[in-house]
Amino acid sequence: MSRIDELIAKLCPDGVEFKRLRDVGVWYGGGTPSKQKPEYWANGTIPWLSPKDMGKPEINKTQDYITPRAVTGSATKLVPANSIAVVVRSSILDRILPTALVAVPVTLNQDMKAVVAHEEALPAFLAHVLRSSGPAILRAARKTGGSVASIEVPKLLAFRIPVPPLEVQRAIVKVLDTFTALEAELEAELEARRRQYAHYRDALLAFSGRTDVGWSPLGAVGDFLRGRRFTKADYAP
């Protein structure tokens, strides 16, 4: 039995409690400050989070920033640090549900929601749970029809997740954070090897300045075949 199993057996003799997402924290929506008001955007210092920023499991900066005047003068609100952001409207929802732990105070655009966890839920634990539950949330809450894929917020907030005692949450986060760090290291190593391959491929195949290497037009080194469009005649019996 693992340490986590032992903790669950000790602290949750009747099983782990499940809660609706609306009950695990305070939820925030977003909005887009008017682009017609430069004072909302020029020299902005407050991160404005949108789906295009949601490419990492943890976020501490955004592509766009707004001013304090934008927060007081528009629908967007300041979300405290250590929230968990969720994309609720984007074509990417046809494939995945982007979620991320947001380490800094941010504002949101209208295609985002964020939750600030109550005391009984660790932000990092909630982030891992939402990431793991992405496919199930999409099945339960994704809106069908519409020109752009979206999440039905009432169904999102009604989705139930496990909320074990904090000691269990800490143990789970410790294990998953270790694997997340390892995954990041492996991705960095893979990217370095891709760049290394590209460098040597280009260097080995350039033959720059070589006088002992012949050059030929592509038409001389092989036969090029063209495709053709199928017509109704091709399907005739």
Higher pLDDT, 98 or 237: 98
* Domain identity same for 42 and 123: yes
* Domain identity same for 82 and 143: yes
Residue 77 lies in a domain: yes
Segment 101-148, tens digit of pLDDT: 999 999 999 999 999 999 999 999 999 999 999 999 999 999 877 789
**What is the pLDDT, as a whole number, of residue 236?**
63
Number of domains in the chain: 2
Residue 119 lies in a domain: yes
Name the β-bridge partners of 27.
115
Nearest to 130, CA basis, from 122, 47, 211: 122
**What is the pLDDT, as a whole number, of residue 200?**
85
Q: At which of 130, 163, 196 does a domain end?
A: 163
Instruction: Print the domain residue range for 62.
Output: 18-163
SS (H, E, C) the chain: CCHHHHHHHHHCCCCCCEEEHHHCEEEECCCCCCCCCHHHCCCCCEEEECHHHCCCCEECCCCEEECHHHHHHCCCCCECCCEEEEECECHHHHCCCCEEEECCCEEECCCEEEEEECCCCCHHHHHHHHHHCHHHHHHHHEECCCCCCEECHHHHHHCEEECCCHHHHHHHHHHHHHHHHHHHHHHHHHHHHHHHHHHHHHHHHHCCCCCCCCCCCHHHHCCCCCCCCCCHHHHCC
- Provide the pLDDT confidence category of residue 177 given band limits of 50, 70 and 90: confident
Cα–Cα distance between 127 and 169 in angstroms, integer?
11
- Provide the pLDDT confidence category of residue 1 given band limits of 50, 70 and 90: very low
* Domain identity same for 4 and 67: no
Tokens 């409207």, located at residue:
89
Cα–Cα distance between 46 and 64 in angstroms, integer?
8
Please state which of the ranges 58-72, 124-138, 160-174, 178-192 shows the lowest mean pLDDT.
Answer: 178-192
* Domain identity same for 70 and 120: yes
* Domain identity same for 64 and 121: yes
* Domain identity same for 197 and 176: yes
Cα–Cα distance between 66 and 105 in angstroms, integer?
12
* Domain identity same for 123 and 187: no
* Domain identity same for 77 and 146: yes
Q: What is the CATH number of the domain that holds 42?
A: 3.90.220.20
* Domain identity same for 99 and 130: yes
* Domain identity same for 125 and 23: yes
Residue 231 lies in a domain: no
Residue 51 lies in a domain: yes
Instruction: Specify the amino acid at residue 44.
Output: G
Residue 220 lies in a domain: no
Cα–Cα distance between 153 and 20 in angstroms, integer?
12
Residue 58 lies in a domain: yes
Cα–Cα distance between 107 and 85 in angstroms, integer?
10
Residue 152 lies in a domain: yes
* Domain identity same for 41 and 149: yes
What's the pTM value of the predicted model, to 2 decimals? 0.78
Residue range 13-39: mean pLDDT, rounded: 93
* Domain identity same for 28 and 106: yes
Residue 227 lies in a domain: no
Question: Mean pLDDT score of the chain, rounded to an integer?
Answer: 90
Tokens matching residue 200? 């040597």
